[in-house]
Amino acid sequence: MERYADAAVLLLGADPARPEQAAAQLMAWLSTTTRPWLIVLDDVQVPAEIEQWWPDPTKTGQVIVTTRYRGDSLIRVDRQVIEVGLYTFEQALEYLHRRLDHQPHLLADPRQRTSPDDLLAALAHDLGYLPLALSHASAYLREGQVSVTAYRMKFADYRTRLEKLFVPPDQFPDRYQDTVAATWTVSIHKAAELMPGGVVPMVMLLASVLDPDGIPRSVFASDAVGSWVRSVLRRAPEDGEVMSAVRMLHRFNLLTDNPAEGTTPVISVHGLVQRATRDAALRTEHAWLTTAHAASDALLEVWPDVERDTALAAALRSNTEQLVAVADVALWGSGAIGVLFRYANSLGRAGMETAAVAYLTRLAATARDRLGPEHRHTLAARQYLARWQGEAGDPAGAATALAELLDDMTRVLGTDDPLSVLTRNSLGEWQGRRGNSHEAAATLHANLNNTAHALAFRGGGTLFMRAQTSPSGAARAAS
């Protein structure tokens, strides 16, 4: 619903403070507009649960839904179901032969009773002809130099243990996920064995909470990730150790690293691999919290103050959206929500001011509910919201909101707190931009009395005031 509401704000000028009404407005518009449109609903678990947000196709609009669900609720006269699924027996056999070409020792049967083709056929059957599982197995066989027979025994053992340990019988609508969970477990253990030290599983966990379609490589090379590794393993990672772990996981087809491709090199991870990783990690709450915090800090670290690289900025926004989707509670629980403010600023700076207002309206409400109305993050969310309310074309509303916020801030934080100083400076800016220059001058003059003391630790307090609308300045004051 939130994505529909954001689209309605951008396309139709809907009220961002009323997301349900905005989403319904978009649904109505889709049914009548003559403009071309396409809605993609990806990885739907139970179609009936999103039926109200499944638009009917029109002459100018279409809906694409991806799902592993096979129930009758998919079937309707105006819907076409296209099966995109498993390899056939012949395709699976051809794939395995191609991947294991020139390595006949991997196909040897110690009992000399089974031909190579029969061994590969049995492996494909074990893995349910699932392409992703076959890619994991073939990578394991090549990199680990393990025979097919040995791999089948290991896979059967891990699968039995996983089914008993943490995969409820009604967890998945098919056997895709538990098959991938077993092949993932076999592969991650081997990768960690070949590169001991504990970094391999940590890198895999970090990749599982970010955008499957593209995580900037710079995230993994960040100081934040190095600090996280050091805190968990109680040792500093060696130079290049994290990126070596990325390459090890690439060798086992657990992620894809293409450092030379594109202006913003990214690392991609299959969604099923991410889910298998998260399912294992969810059994350890501390690991989940620290991973979410590390991902948030890493995104903030590599996010430039000036977004000249629009592709990088878009990738960072997508990664933030995925992090929130899979680890929202952990983010709030670890206090790592600074990246949410940066995300909002990025939306606004990319020309999506109304979307920034809609997002910050929800963020401020969530902060109030989870942290309380006087928490520093709640007050900071209101400051960001007022700023982008003004940038979206409502300077009077921004000035009014900032005046109310300043009263609360000075009461809770004091007059010389950096966040109070920033808010007072922002109030003066929007008073001036709505045309009240005398009131703005008085506000900014009063603010100078607090600046030297509040921002002395930064140096150049007046210059900092002039730059206070930068996302990094506000984020530092909010934290």
**pLDDT tens digit string along 444-465?**
777 776 665 544 444 444 444 4
Instruction: In whole angstroms, give the CA distance from residue 219 to residue 206.
Output: 10
Which of 275, 205, 319 is CA-nearest to residue 43?
A: 275
- Report which of residues 166 and 70 the model is more confident about: 70
Dihedral angle sign, alpha carbons of residues 243, 245, 251, 253: negative
Q: How many residues does the chain have?
A: 479
Q: What are phi and psi of 416, to 5 degrees?
A: -105, 10
Pairing of strands 37-44, 61-67: parallel
Q: What's the token pair of residue 448?
A: 């100078």
**CA nearest neighbour of 380 among 407, 420, 415:** 420
Instruction: Give the global pTM.
Output: 0.76
d(CA 336, CA 340): 9
Amino acid at 447: N
Residue tagged 């009077």 (tokens) = 396
Residue-wise pLDDT for 31-57, tens only, equals: 889 899 998 887 776 677 777 888 888
Confidence check: pLDDT of 468 > 60: no
Highest mean pLDDT among 137-146, 251-260, 396-405: 396-405
Q: Distance between CA 295 and CA 245 in Å, rounded? A: 16
- Record the tokens describing residue 169, joined without a space: 């019988």
Q: How large is the C-alpha radius of gyration of the chain? A: 26
Residue 321 above 50 pLDDT?
A: yes
Query: Which residues have C-beta within 8 Å of that of residue 142, sequence separation ≥ 6?
Result: 99, 100, 103, 106
Output the DSSP codes for 248-276.
Answer: HHHHTTSSEE-TTSSSS-EEE--HHHHHH
